[in-house]
Amino acid sequence: MDQFAPTGRLGVYLHVPFCLRRCPYCDFTVAVMRTVPEADFVEAMLRELEQRRAELVGRQLTTIYFGGGTPSLLSVASLGRLLDGVKAAAGERSAGLEVTLEVNPESVVEGWAEQVAAAGFTRVSLGAQSLNDEVLRTLGRNHTGADVRRAVERLHGAGIRHISVDLIYGAPGATMAGFLEEVSAVAIWPEVDHISAYELTFEPRTAFTVARERGRLTPWDDDLLASCFDEVELRLNAAGFSRYEISNFARPGGVSLHNSSYWVGDEYVGLGPGAHSLRVDAASSTVVRRANDRSTRNYLGEEQASFSSEELTSETHLRELLMLACRRVAPLSLAELRSRSGQVDRVLGPHLDAWVERGLCRVVEGAVQFTPEARRLADSLAAEIF
């Protein structure tokens, strides 16, 4: 039988697509607008939530995540309405429900963080990207390095106990030494318990990609990027952070539950333009992926959000979970996977045997532990899986 059992846990993602301008490296689902149609958007999202209420019950809600775009362009009152709506629609909630808001540093004006904490957010992911004002200008950002530090202090002062800072390496004009200094600077801020260090990627049709194709921009070479990947880990380890995924580092207790839930195959409901969902159909135990239409205009105008969906075979879903496991430090429990699918050994066995042979992972007591080398090769291992 091609069936897959759910983990029983659920995350909810709310996509707020608005940005004041598009950053030159960004290919996310974004609606660039000077004036955000806030009231219409909140009504549309509450409508979608109501229509999909059934998908939120019968699972334990463990995480809620507001991402974008720029969710902090909505008023805290609107964010709170959406958050309350999700909580009311859900069935059982975990005691340690994690509620994350993605925030741009310039949004954290005086008094704002207190409102966010009072609305029920427990975690903030700060889109800093850099502390260097020149690099920030190149990246098309509206804030300064000083804004980042001030935002962290205000969020912590308001009682937000989990603060994550995003940083990007490989930006044009930036140097590895400069980036590592920024990493070290953020790592000693005691308020921060999570750092995401992303390599700049050149996605099709972004302004940076076009500039690179025309020879107007020189990307970092692969050796420099690889050195930076290793050096970041050394610096963060020395400051008490551990890598738990390719780009993510946390102090003890600071791991992002929401991101982790994607990697272990928890179900998630994505609301808003372009949002993705994954659910296990209760009747057939089949895995279904849904993608909402990316158009914000359509989302605001339609009574029912348009979407496409596809049913994944157990084989495809298992391959996806293996691909995600290669990127993580936590071991992949084969026993847990076997309790969810009868296809684990047939589908994953040949890959695991080959990788054990090549020294890329070990299987100990029914759990697969990948090596740092496997994480470095994660993209090429993914190509082997599919």
Q: Which residues lie near ligand SF4 (CB under 6 A)? A: 19, 22-23, 26, 28, 30, 68-70, 127
The token pair at 5 is: 């059992």
User: Closest CB to ligand SF4 among 68 and 172?
Assistant: 68
Nearer to ligand SF4, 190 or 204 (CB): 204
Q: Closest distance between ligand SF4 and the C-beta of residue 32, in Å? A: 7
Is residue 46 classed as helix, strand or coil in its secondary structure?
Answer: helix
Closest CB to ligand SF4 among residues 25, 241 = 25
In the complex, minimum distance from the CB of residue 105 to ligand SF4, in angstroms, rounded to a whole number: 11
**Min CB(142)–ligand SF4 separation in Å:** 8
Closest CB to ligand SF4 among 105 and 265? 105
H-state helical runs in the chain = 38-51, 76-89, 112-119, 133-138, 145-157, 176-187, 207-213, 222-238, 257-263, 296-301, 314-326, 334-340, 344-357, 372-376, 378-385
CA angle centred on 261, ends 17 and 238, rounded to 5°: 95
Which amino acid does the sequence have at 194? H
Shortest Cβ 256–ligand SF4 spacing (Å)? 17
* Closest CB 140 distance from ligand SF4, rounded Å: 7
Give the nearer residue to ligand SF4 in terms of CB position, either 108 or 377: 108
Nearest approach, Cβ of 171 to ligand SF4 (angstroms)? 12
CB of 282 to ligand SF4, least distance (A): 34
What is the sign, positive or negative, of the torsion defined by CA atoms of 126, 127, 128, 130? positive
Residues 354 and 31: their CA atoms lie apart, in Å, by 45
Residues contacting residue 68 through CB under 8 Å, at least 6 positions apart: 15, 16, 17, 18, 19, 28, 30, 102
Distance CA 320, CA 341 (A): 14
Minimum distance, C-beta of residue 273 to ligand SF4, in the bound complex (Å): 12
> Of 141 and 351, which has the nearer Cβ to ligand SF4?
141
Q: What residues contact residue 287 under an 8 Å CB cut-off, 6+ apart?
A: 4, 278, 279, 280, 281, 311, 312, 314, 317
Contact present, 301 and 237 (Cβ < 8 Å)? no
3-state class of 213 per DSSP? helix
Bond from prior residue into 265 cis (ω within 30 degrees of 0): no
Comparison of 22 and 87: residue with beta carbon closer to ligand SF4:
22
**Nearer residue to ligand SF4 within complex by CB, 203 or 373:** 203
